[in-house]
Structure 1
């Protein structure tokens, strides 16, 4: 084995990289055996003999594993009366124990049992350019999620791993943008290529596009765009690669992209690649923000008001109707008989939280010549944390 104690920094770096799989196996084995659970629940530190007796493992092997965990800063140790006592760390109690508030135990067990076998096929996947389900587990790669869910136990492990990963990455991802403007939010799952999509103002595709090739992503995004109401949006959460001119990176996104080669039909993409996908589907104004994890959030919107055909009658609203419009708006110049069509132009409004839209006499005369009625020469819009709502003066019924 390569020695990380060598005086040459380049050799030390090589040794560190080459022994990474050993570190992973220490973490996986201690998790599987229940070391972190036992010490998190113990009333005090325990020696290796007590731990091995409780776990049903060999004394020698247990001591070696515990010492390796100490060197990796997963556990702490102290001498006491000629014995070495081991206790948990904050890291282990939080992320490694089953009852930890941000436990990643199921993710680690899934990595040890499934992902590790995929990584052993990396050279072959690079040669062939395809996933390795058949070679690693003896199951056909199509359909993709039938391979990923190759048994009920495997599906449960996979879903538990995703849930734990999302428990850490999710809060930052969902707070990257103000989503309060979207009353109905759908975290899209299921057979989204065939099943009807639910009614929602915002569709979240969290780590979805990276499983699929570009043509499948384009098909899915077009479905989402059709399901979105005017002014609706899609929120993507993806690991984003650096642009080609910036050089390769970041490393977590590159490693994830290699895993996607091994396990799926997709890959990680650059910011420009994601923007092209959402733009081709009809979404506008894509904005990317970091989330504090490997994932980046991209929010893109559907146009607030689609063009209506000549045979489509204008909508009518009673005086009691509260109609959602985009934040920062003014009356559309071709207002079809109601005050709820707006362009996205920032208006001026006072501190009272009421935006007043005034219609000139000339504008009302133009509308009258077209057989349309403007509500009045003044319309009030209530500004709230969720956007702006029409609260007064709508057209008279015809």
Structure 2
């Protein structure tokens, strides 16, 4: 079925697509550091560059592009009013990309991290003001809360400097500050932004959904978001009451997910008819990954599971990539295809998207297999080579994605040159 065109800023989207390629390339470098040596490079510093650039350079910028296209009038987002925070964010991300591998958390990298936070606050303020006239009130509610959680997550980076300066680097306080940032990025900002775009699509395409159930989904997921942070601190073996509260929050997330699934039941046939082949595949993967995310969080409320996650880091890394790649990125790629922003039609781009998905599945399979084997007291032979191979597949796939974005020049009336 022909995708539904949606005006967008092509330069913004292409920038985000190129950044995705850089994120994948850094992932290859991280995996290579387990099998080889690069003089002068510290694994942890490269990891900081990888994660910060993934969150800011890929996800933040692509979500800015899509949220403005969905909820802000063209005459506003095509002006310097939005170009300034977008390109300020890009400068900040490039600065972090260059400084983190050299110094880790230092004066320069922290300065660029702060600049990214300034850009995000800048965007949030003008977006909330300019989106008031949109006809899509329910999806906008998800988007605004996504921005609130984005701003809440930004509190954590400001605490890392004082924590490290007082000699607490590597302590539970240090790691819990990082988990605070990760939680409100993954489960707040990214998740609510994705669901905003999902319900925007349903309303824009006039696909039926149960508004009452969708409102309940919003309510339960929103109420659960803040206390669900407690799931991230269970590795410290806190008092029993913390386990109880974390379990309740995880249960509320499950309830919200059940309402979410039931809300789309009335229009499921319409949605499947509207989705083309790749859109259906990618959104199906995203849906499975989202449900898996919620169930894994529920499982993590069990003290023994929380202990496993702490001792076997393959589980944590697998979970983070499940959410970042399986849920969020696959949803966004499907969204881009369905709204005419990404073309996967030529043999090369189709092949590279298959390669990307193969890398995704291989990465998850190896990480969780390694975690299970380690849990049973064994060791998965060749695990680092397998993970490097998966990273190379992901990188090759992102080249096709960026190429598909470049191929849309002049296709839509909202393109900018």
- Provide the TM-score with structure 1 as the length reference: 0.23
- Provide the TM-score with structure 2 as the length reference: 0.22
| More strand per residue | 1
Q: Which has the larger radius of gyration?
A: 1
| More helix per residue | 2
